[in-house]
Structure 1
Amino acid sequence: MRHLAVALSLALLLPAAQAQETLRERLKARAEQRRADKASEAPAKGGLQELQVQGRKVLVHLPTGYDATKPAPLVLAFHGGGGHAEYMADDEKYGLQKKADEAGFVVAFPNGYSKLPGGKFATWNAGGCCGDARDKGSDDVGFARATVKAIQARYSIDANRVFATGMSNGGMLSHRLACEAADVFRAVAAVAGTDATASCTPSKPISLLHIHARDDTHVLFNGGAGADAFRDKSKVMEFVSVPETISRWTLRNRCTVPPQRTLDKPGATCETYSGCAGGVSVQLCVTDTGGHSWPGADSVRRGKPGASRALDANDAIWRFFEQASQ
Structure 2
Amino acid sequence: MTTLPLPQQRRLATWWHRARGWLRRGNAPRLRLGLRFLGLLCLGLPGAPALAANPSQAAAANPAQAAGADSAFSAGPGSHRASLPHGGTTRLYRVHVPASYDPQRPLPLVVSMHGGGGSMDIQADERYYGWISAAERHGFIVVFPNGYSRFRGGHLATWNAGRCCGAARDQGSDDVGFIAALIDSLRGQWAIDERRVFATGMSNGGMMAYRLACELPQRFLAIAAVAGTDNTHQCTPAQAVSVLHIHARDDERVLYDGGAGKPSRQETDYSSVADTVARWSQRNGCPAAAPQTVLKTDGALCEQRAPCRDGSAVQWCSTDGGGHSWPGGTKPRGRSTNATALDATEEIWRFFARQAPR
Q: Same fold (TM over 0.5)?
A: yes
**Residue type matched to 2:249 in 1?**
R
2:188 counterpart SS class: helix
Q: How far has the Cα of 1:38 moved from its partner?
A: 6.0
Aligned residue for 1:290?
A: 322
Aligned residue for 1:110?
A: 145
Q: Mapping of 1:150-165 within 5 angstroms? A: 150-165=185-200
Aligned residue for 1:252?
A: 283
Structure 2 residue 316 is matched with structure 1 residue 281: no
1:77 counterpart SS class: strand
Q: Given the alignment, which residue of 150, 169, 193 partners 2:228?
A: 193
1:202 counterpart SS class: coil
Q: How far has the Cα of 1:214 moved from its partner?
A: 0.5
CA contact (8 A) 1:171 1:194 kept: yes
CA contact (8 A) 2:254 2:324 kept: yes
Structure 2 residue 103 is matched with structure 1 residue 72: no
Q: 1 CA distance for matches of 2:272 and 2:96?
A: 33
Q: How far has the Cα of 1:187 moved from its partner?
A: 0.5
**Residue type matched to 2:155 in 1?**
K
Q: How far has the Cα of 1:42 moved from its partner?
A: 8.2
2:251 counterpart SS class: coil
Structure 2 residue 271 is matched with structure 1 residue 271: no
**Residue type matched to 1:98 in 2?**
S
Aligned residue for 2:14?
A: none
Q: Mapping of 1:47-126 within 5 angstroms? A: 48-53=79-84, 54=86, 55-126=90-161
Q: Percent identity?
A: 49
Aligned residue for 1:21?
A: none
Q: Mapping of 1:3-14 within 5 angstroms? A: none
C-alpha RMSD over aligned residues: 2.0
Q: 1 CA distance for matches of 2:216 and 2:297?
A: 34
**Residue type matched to 1:224 in 2?**
G
Q: 2 CA distance for matches of 1:300 and 1:180?
A: 30
Q: 2 CA distance for matches of 1:266 and 1:313?
A: 15
After superposing the two structures, state which structure 1 stretch, 59-68 or 70-79, moved more.
59-68
Query: Residue by residue, what CA displacement relative to the aligned partner does 1:56-90 show, whole Å, maximum 9, x if unpaired?
Result: 11100011211111100000000000000000000
Query: Residue by residue, what CA displacement relative to the aligned partner does 1:191-227 show, whole Å, maximum 9, x if unpaired?
Result: 0000011210012011000000001111000011112
Q: 2 CA distance for matches of 1:210 and 1:302?
A: 22
Query: Residue by residue, what CA displacement relative to the aligned partner does 1:222-242 show, whole Å, maximum 9, x if unpaired?
Result: 01111232xxx44x1000000
**Residue type matched to 2:207 in 1?**
M
Return the index of the structure with the highest Cα Rg.
1
Q: Mapping of 1:198-277 within 5 angstroms? A: 198-229=233-264, 233-234=265-266, 236-256=267-287, 257-277=289-309
TM-score, normalised relative to structure 2? 0.77
Runs of 4+ that moved beyond 6 A: none
**Residue type matched to 2:341 in 1?**
A
**Residue type matched to 1:321 in 2?**
F
Q: 2 CA distance for matches of 1:244 and 1:138?
A: 26
Aligned residue for 2:349?
A: 318
Q: 2 CA distance for matches of 1:118 and 1:161?
A: 30
Structure 1's 82 and 302: CA in aligned 2 closer, same or farther, altered over 3 A?
closer
Q: 2 CA distance for matches of 1:38 and 1:288?
A: 42
Q: How far has the Cα of 1:302 moved from its partner?
A: 3.9
Uncovered stretches (5+) of structure 2, i.e. residues with no partner: 1-68
Uncovered stretches (5+) of structure 1, i.e. residues with no partner: 1-36
**Residue type matched to 1:212 in 2?**
H
CA contact (8 A) 2:83 2:93 kept: yes
CA contact (8 A) 2:70 2:80 kept: no
How many residues get paired?
A: 285
Q: How far has the Cα of 1:254 moved from its partner?
A: 1.1
CA contact (8 A) 1:68 1:155 kept: yes
CA contact (8 A) 2:70 2:82 kept: no
CA contact (8 A) 1:260 1:271 kept: yes
Q: 2 CA distance for matches of 1:69 and 1:137?
A: 39
Q: 2 CA distance for matches of 1:307 and 1:213?
A: 9
1:69 counterpart SS class: coil
